[in-house]
Amino acid sequence: MLHDFDERLVLDDAKKQHVIYDEHIVRYRFAAGLARGKKILDIACGSGYGTNILSEAGAESAIGVDADEDVVAKARSEYKRGNLEFCLGDAQNLTYEDKSFDMVSSFETIEHLQDVKSYLGEISRLVKDKGLALISTPNREVSKEENPFHLKEYNYDEFLVLLRGYFEYVEILEQGNGITSYIAPRLFNKNGECVTMYITNKPEPVYFLALCSHSPIDIESIVLPVASINPAALRNLYDNPGMKAVNNLYKLLIRIPGMKRLLSFARKRID
C-alpha cells in the first residue's frame, strides 16, 4: 500500500513557479518523446497532468491509474481526450492482461510502496516484450533519506540490482537541477525545445530515471538531453527574503573602508 503522506503534484500557478514543477514535468516531457503510437499505462498518475501530456504527444492510448479515488475523479474532470482514460487501481495488484502495454511509466512511486516486489512484478508483467518501462526515484546519496514519508530510497547500485531482478535490460539516466542560462529565439509566449545542452560543475544526480525492457534498449536512438527551463523559479529564488537580506547586507558591508578588498580575498581563498 502507499504511505499515508500525499506528495502528488497538483498543477496551479504557484506550483509552476518552483523547481519541483520542473522536476516532475521534465520526466513526462522525456516520456512524451517516446509516446507516439504507443499504448501507455501511467502508474500512480496522481492529478493526471502527466498522463495528459503523454496523450497529447500522440499516444494511441494513455491510461492513468491511481489508488486515490478523489484524484482519479479530479483527473477525469480536468483532462478529457479521446485517447485518455483514468482508472482506480493498486500499483501492486493491477487487473490488466499480460503484455498489454508498449510503455509503462511510473515516476516517484517506488519509494512510497511497501510491496516493491509486487509493484515491479506487475510492471514487468504488463509491458510487452519489446516495450519499455520508465521508473524514477530519488538518489539516496543526495537526499540522505531525509524525507520521512519515503519508505525506502536507493543509490545507483541498489536501484540497478533491484530492477535487473525483473528486467534483463536496464539503462539508468540521471536527473538533476541547476541554474540555467540560455540563448533561444523569442519563445517567452510558448514552449521551447532545448537543442544543445552543456552541463558545468556536474553534481550527483538528484533522481534516477530507469529505462527497463525485456529486449535490448537502443539507448542512442531514444535518449536526448531534456531540460525544463523555468525563469519564474529563478525569480522566486532571487525574491526570497533571505536572499534579499544577504544581498542588502553585502551592499552595506562593501561601503566599509577595506571591506570590499577583504571580501574579495576571502572569496579567492574559498575558490
List, for residues 181-201, the tens digit of each pLDDT value: 655 555 444 555 555 566 666
Domains and CATH numbers, the chain: 15-230 (3.40.50.150), 240-270 (no CATH)
pLDDT in tens, 70-94: 999 999 999 999 999 999 999 999 9
Note the pLDDT of residue 27. Answer: 92
Note the pLDDT of residue 217. Answer: 95
Point out the least confidently predicted range of 2-6, 19-23, 150-154, 264-268: 2-6
Distance (Å, whole) CA 64 – CA 96: 13
Distance (Å, whole) CA 234 – CA 212: 34
Q: If pLDDT is split at 50, 70 and 90, which confidence band does 3 have?
A: very low
- Mean pLDDT computed over 91-112: 97
Note the pLDDT of residue 144. Answer: 75
State the number of CA atoms in the 13 A half-sphere of 4 facing the CB. Answer: 1
Note the pLDDT of residue 6. Answer: 47
Coil, helix or strand at residue 91 = coil
| Chain mean pLDDT for the chain | 82
Distance (Å, whole) CA 264 – CA 183: 30
Note the pLDDT of residue 204. Answer: 84
pTM here is 0.76
More confident position, 71 or 262: 71
pLDDT in tens, 216-254: 999 888 766 666 555 555 556 556 676 567 666 766 766
Distance (Å, whole) CA 86 – CA 96: 14
Residue 192 gets the label, from left (phi > 0), alpha (psi -120 to 50) or beta, of beta
More confident position, 76 or 149: 76
Distance (Å, whole) CA 140 – CA 217: 26
DSSP 159-219: HHHHHHTT-SEEEEEEE---------SS-TTS----------S----SEEEEEEESS---H
Note the pLDDT of residue 188. Answer: 47
